[in-house]
Amino acid sequence: MSIFGRLYDLTWRRVRHLGGVALLGRAVAARLVTPPWDGREIIRQLEAMGVRSTNLAAVIALFTGMVLALQTAYTLAAFGAKLYIGEVVGLSLIRELGPVLTALMVGGRVGSGITAELGSMTVSEQVEAMRSLGADPLRKLVAPRMLALLMGLPLLVVFADIAGIFGGLLISTWELGLTPGFYFSHVLRLLQFGDFLSGIGKSVFFAFAIGLIASYNGLSATGGADGVGKATTDTVVAVAITVLVLDFFLTKLFLAL
Amino acid sequence: MSETRPVVVEVHELRKSFGAHTVLDGVSLEVLRGETVVVLGGSGEGKSVFLKHVNGLLRPDHGSVSVLGCNVSELPEDEMVGLRRRVSYIFQQCALFDSLTVGENVAFPLREHTDLGDSDVARHVAVLLERVGLAGTETLAPSELSGGMRKRVALARGLALDPEVILYDEPTAGLDPLTGLAITALIGEVTRTTGATSLVVTHDIAVAAKLADRVAFLSSGRFTFTGTMAGAARQGGDVGRFVRAGGVYA
Ligand SMILES: Nc1ncnc2c1ncn2[C@@H]1O[C@H](COP(=O)(O)OP(=O)(O)OP(=O)(O)O)[C@@H](O)[C@H]1O
Ligand SMILES: [Mg+2]
């Protein structure tokens, strides 16, 4: 095939992909807002993905907060930045790094898990079996995972925010000799409730995107175990890119509001 | 076989391609009430694709599929539920839900489509498992089962709602000959006791010889032969060679 033919092919596949994701998004959204909801399954998923991600989210945020504090203090020392560590750590974590890092981590871990699970169900005909038994796989399989993500990710972000600010506190007091009271008063000085809302708001969009990409890749897996493996890798990459690109547009959007 | 029996499955000029690859190139078939029709064909000829159209799991590019008077090829997915309660599909790989136990697998259609309470469901499940020779296996996980047991559980799940039509995709594939025979016998017994209309897809001549009222031979996207097994064995060409290769009609 000529290079143009290949390029056309690739582009067309991408476009069809996006179309498929969009259609799935609409179908899933319709099931999220209409009963019945399977409460037990949602809690099971929340437990499986949320609770077990907590430690990881906390460790990542803790060290990010510590690094932020260190970098601010040393690289911007000439501007007297040491006194503003609280503001820098608080604002950047809550507005940006908390939601984004948590989404990247959860997207990689939980998203790939969803793809692997749905993918192996797809290639072993379990999804078709469900349809054949008169049940709706989107309602039975995708909706509970999506709802668990939509509830779990924002909670994880709150958790990460707290851990990150605590990380900043550790460095400020141990390394830089500030008092905890001073640090906290600066964390809170510029921070507004809107900053917090914007961070949490972002995480809701991230959760939907992660769930959608992961489910789409799982449900469209073909072949055998290698097909599932490929779909899982695709999810990790696609989620990472989507979270970062989406973050840019959401940031612009929220700043304009 | 009286010709006044109603047509339960009617496939007309069905065509299906995946990309440039044409799998079904205009196949037609009628199955009468209570009849067992076996679709024979080599690996990769499109037998599973054909059967999935009958259950509405795939949509035709051309042609029509109608089952129990419903036009499957045009029914939207959410309106197919009523029909699917009356039609069971036994999948090639069994397709047991591996996050559920054997008992929960068999209970799945009951919970989905009936208002039975827990104890009634449990009683039904026990009866169904006993019918397929697996009494008392409720708490096992699908991963703990042998291939033959998986088939039996899939069959029990498929029988839960007393289907009028049962679609079997390669019921003996991947089983040793003896287990294959036992499963074939079980299918024969199910057909006798339920009177269900059956469409069996297989490349196993022994299965066809035991179960078929009629066979249809799928080759290069078409049914090149439709008739009795004995008739197929007398044919020249691919059909005869395929059927005689099974050893039953040497
Ligand atoms: N969803 C699909 N997308 C693309 N190609 C498909 C799809 N399903 C089936 N095919 C192709 O259609 C052809 C027929 O497949 P099918 O599974 O129906 O064969 P079969 O007769 O059931 O074979 P086997 O005996 O191996 O089960 C194969 O070449 C397969 O690659
Ligand atoms: Mg097949």
The shortest CB-CB distance from B84 to any of A124, A125, A134 is to: A134
> Can you tell me the mean pLDDT for B16-25?
91
pLDDT, residue B128, reads 94
For residue A209, give how far its alpha carbon lies from the nearest alpha carbon of chain B (Å). 25
- Strands, DSSP E only, in chain B? 7-18, 21-32, 36-41, 62-67, 70-71, 87-90, 165-169, 197-202, 214-219, 222-227
> Can you tell me the mean pLDDT for A55-82?
86
Distance B221 CA to ligand 2 centre (A): 14
Range in B66-75, B145-154, B236-245 with the lowest mean pLDDT:
B236-245
pLDDT, residue A53, reads 87
In this model, does residue B2 exceed pLDDT 60?
A: no
| Interface contact flag, B95 A129, Cβ < 8 Å | yes
pLDDT tens readout for residues B42-87: 888 999 999 999 999 999 999 999 999 889 988 888 888 889 999 9
pLDDT-derived band of residue A148, with 50, 70 and 90 as boundaries?
very high
- Domain map (residue ranges) of chain B: 7-45+53-245
HEC string for chain A: CCHHHHHHHHHHHHHHHHHHHHHHHHHHHHHHCCCCCCHHHHHHHHHHHHHHHHHHHHHHHHHHHHHHHHHHHHHCHHHCHHHHHHHHHHHHHHHHHHHHHHHHHHHHHHHHHHHHHHHHHHHCCHHHHHHHCCCCHHHHHHHHHHHHHHHHHHHHHHHHHHHHHHHHHHHHHHCCCCCHHHHHHHHHHHCCHHHHHHHHHHHHHHHHHHHHHHHHHHHCCCCCHHHHHHHHHHHHHHHHHHHHHHHHHHHHHHHHC
pLDDT-derived band of residue B250, with 50, 70 and 90 as boundaries?
low
pLDDT-derived band of residue A176, with 50, 70 and 90 as boundaries?
confident
Distance A1 CA to ligand 2 centre (A): 31
Q: What ipTM does the predicted assembly reach?
A: 0.90
Give me the number of domains chain A comprises: 1
pLDDT, residue B30, reads 93
CATH number of B7-45+53-245: 3.40.50.300
The shortest CB-CB distance from A125 to any of B85, B95, B157 is to: B95
pLDDT, residue B55, reads 93
Name the residue with higher pLDDT: B187 or B231: B187
pLDDT, residue A1, reads 61
> Can you tell me the mean pLDDT for B121-149?
92
pLDDT, residue B236, reads 81
pLDDT, residue A38, reads 83
Tally of CB atoms within 10 A around A251 = 15
By the CB < 8 Å criterion, does A126 face chain B?
yes
pLDDT, residue B241, reads 83
Q: Which two tokens stand for residue B89?
A: 């599909």
Average pLDDT over chain B, rounded to an integer? 90
For residue A216, give how far its alpha carbon lies from the nearest alpha carbon of chain B (Å). 18
Its domain, for residue A28, covers 3-256
> Can you tell me the mean pLDDT for A125-133?
95
pLDDT, residue B3, reads 60
Name the residue with higher pLDDT: A255 or B64: B64
By the CB < 8 Å criterion, does B210 face chain A?
no
Q: How far from each other are the two terminal CA atoms of chain A, in whole angstroms?
A: 48
Q: What are the distances in angstroms from CA A98 to CA A201, A208, A234, A236, A253?
A: 12, 17, 24, 19, 18
Range in A176-190, A228-242, B60-74, B112-126 with the lowest mean pLDDT:
A176-190
Average pLDDT over chain A, rounded to an integer? 89
Say what the alpha-carbon torsion angle B34, B36, B39, B40 is, to the nearest 10 degrees.
-170
For residue B2, give how far its alpha carbon lies from the nearest alpha carbon of chain A (Å). 31
The shortest CB-CB distance from B81 to any of A125, A126, A134 is to: A134
Mutate to test the pocket of ligand 1, among B16, B17, B18 (most ligand atoms within 8 A of CB): B18
**Euclidean distance between CA atoms A64 and A66, whole angstroms:** 5
In this model, does residue B246 exceed pLDDT 60?
A: yes
Ligand 1 residue neighbourhood (C-beta within 6 Å)? B 18, 23, 41, 43-49, 92, 170, 203
> Can you tell me the mean pLDDT for B218-244?
85
For B60, the 3-state DSSP assignment is: coil
In this model, does residue A82 exceed pLDDT 80?
A: no
Which atom number of ligand 1 is nearest to the Cα of residue B51? 18
pLDDT-derived band of residue A200, with 50, 70 and 90 as boundaries?
very high
> Can you tell me the mean pLDDT for B116-134?
92
Q: Which two tokens stand for residue B150?
A: 């998986």
DSSP for residue B79: G
Q: Which residues of B touch A121 (CB under 8 A)?
A: 97
